[in-house]
Amino acid sequence: MQYITGLLNIDKSLQVPVYLQIANGIICHIRQGTLKPASALPSSRALALGLKVHRNTVVAAYDELYAQSWVDVYPQKGIFIAANLPELSPRPIAESPQKLVYPNKTYFDVGDNKLSHINLQKQSTGHIIAFNEGYPDTRLAPVELMLREYRRFANYHFTSKYLLYGPEQGSENLRTELARFLGETRGLHVTPEHILITKGAQMAIYLAAQLLLNKNDTVIAADPGYCGANETFVQTGANLELVPVDEFGISLDAVEEICKKKKVKLLYVIPHHHQPTTVTLCSERRMRLLELAMKYRFAIIEDDYDYDFHYSSSPILPLASADYYGSVIYIGSFCKTIAPGIRIGFMVAPPNLISQATKMRRIIDRQGEHLLEEAMANLLKNGDITRHLKKANKLYHERRDILCNLLTRQMGEHVEFKIPDGGFAIWMKYLNGIKPKDVAEKAASMGLAVSAGQDYYYDHSRESEHIRIGFASMNFTEMEQATHILAKALKKLV
């Protein structure tokens, strides 16, 4: 026993649990041949005494060794190094004259340009501060409230059931509370059967596209618009028809002209705070759009990703609240309500489509995070989400006004913008021939990351005169610092 005790070094200051240090130490000496196959190990009590640790720690270490087949346990006899050990060292498939370096590219074709339009988000580095495209302030996220719900579940005797497979359609509690919440806030009179829980709005868009679209089907979307949705539609093999956007939303005259010439399968629209222009689809166009959907029998994906954030007036109710024929697939998310990392979105549609979307969701992702969904259900039920939204709306309203004042005061002769009614960003245009790309480069050299006006149009070579500037995630000091740098960059280009 003293021999084995001397082989093991225990450091309780490490993050690695002590039982794993013991197990890994024994495995290491088995690999090296120090501990021979079929040789006896000391009892858990004796080894615990020698290592000065609790006996349960050694029991856990021996359990780990047994689970990995490094030891055999014989009743009334003890614990022994396994006679038939696991393979002690990996064997090469073939002898190689030199050390193999894992390849940087596949030998088979994966279609490198198949998803060429999608630019994966990269964290900006080397910048003092950044104007993002419009995200909530994660510092306001009700993390403590969510942890409270997790702790509450940890104390329940039935918590283990939430660690098993659950409903693919999403937590029944969450769908029930969400149906109530949507009825109170959006006028959607739905039941849990109308709702599928997803990991964000993007998953819901993907599911709807996969279910509805076939090769060469026609999809209508706005330009400029949300490239994440457009690329999803294109990947199904569908043909994208683009319509312009003005101060009242997408052009329905352009939509109807397309419908007269082609069989349209799907139309994608962001009615509140259109991405990227921030405009809201007016009431008259909403009603006309529903009439066109009924007349030409096309589906509408209504992406209402930030409906909950309005500052100037009450929001217009969603298209889905006035949809009597089942034309609208309503999509929303809590990723903006709480934080982008909280991946809970939802799809609302007639049950026949929800049933198919649930089956499709199972194929790509068996289910959501059951505990997270249950915690969210309780936050909705307790009114915590409603209180958080009231607090966030008030603060984001103040931040919108502060940023608009700073932009006007520091660079008003070089930019123009309309104060948005809600959302998280301002759609700002540079004047006097100033190009967003030049401003972005100059600002970056001064420590500020700001949009270069790219990826707003489906034709990525097309340069935008506008950029999106997010305000929700920045406090006053950060906005003041960022606008100061932006103003200096602009003055250097004039």
Same domain, 366 and 406: no
The answer to whether position 120 is within a domain reads no
The answer to whether position 116 is within a domain reads no
Euclidean distance between CA atoms 97 and 433, whole angstroms: 61
Same domain, 340 and 444: no
Q: What is the pLDDT of residue 165?
A: 73
The answer to whether position 335 is within a domain reads yes
Same domain, 205 and 352: yes
Identify which of 109, 347, 312 has the alpha carbon closest to the alpha carbon of residue 210: 347
Q: What is the pLDDT of residue 99?
A: 52
Same domain, 363 and 400: no
282-335 pLDDT tens trace: 999 999 999 999 999 999 999 998 888 988 777 889 999 998 899 999 999 988
Q: Are 185 and 309 in contact (CB under 8 A)?
A: no
Percent of the chain predicted with pLDDT > 70? 90
Domain enclosing residue 293, as ranges: 142-385
Q: What is the pLDDT of residue 160?
A: 67
The answer to whether position 156 is within a domain reads yes
Q: What is the pLDDT of residue 117?
A: 58
Amino acid at 187: G
Q: What is the pLDDT of residue 93?
A: 52
User: Tell me, what CATH number does 461's domain have?
Assistant: 3.90.1150.10
Identify which of 386, 308, 373, 309 has the alpha carbon closest to the alpha carbon of residue 142: 386
The 10 Å Cβ neighbour count of residue 133 is 17
DSSP conformation class of 447: T
Q: What is the pLDDT of residue 387?
A: 92
Same domain, 156 and 289: yes
Residue 346's DSSP bridge partners are: 197, 332
Same domain, 301 and 340: yes
Question: Which residue ranges of the chain lie beneath pLDDT 50?
Answer: 1-2, 96
pTM beyond 0.85: the answer is: no
Residue 430's DSSP bridge partners are: 415
Q: Are 28 and 61 in contact (CB under 8 A)?
A: no
Residues with Cβ within 8 Å of 406's Cβ and at least 6 positions away in sequence, in order, are: 479, 480, 483
Q: What is the pLDDT of residue 229?
A: 94
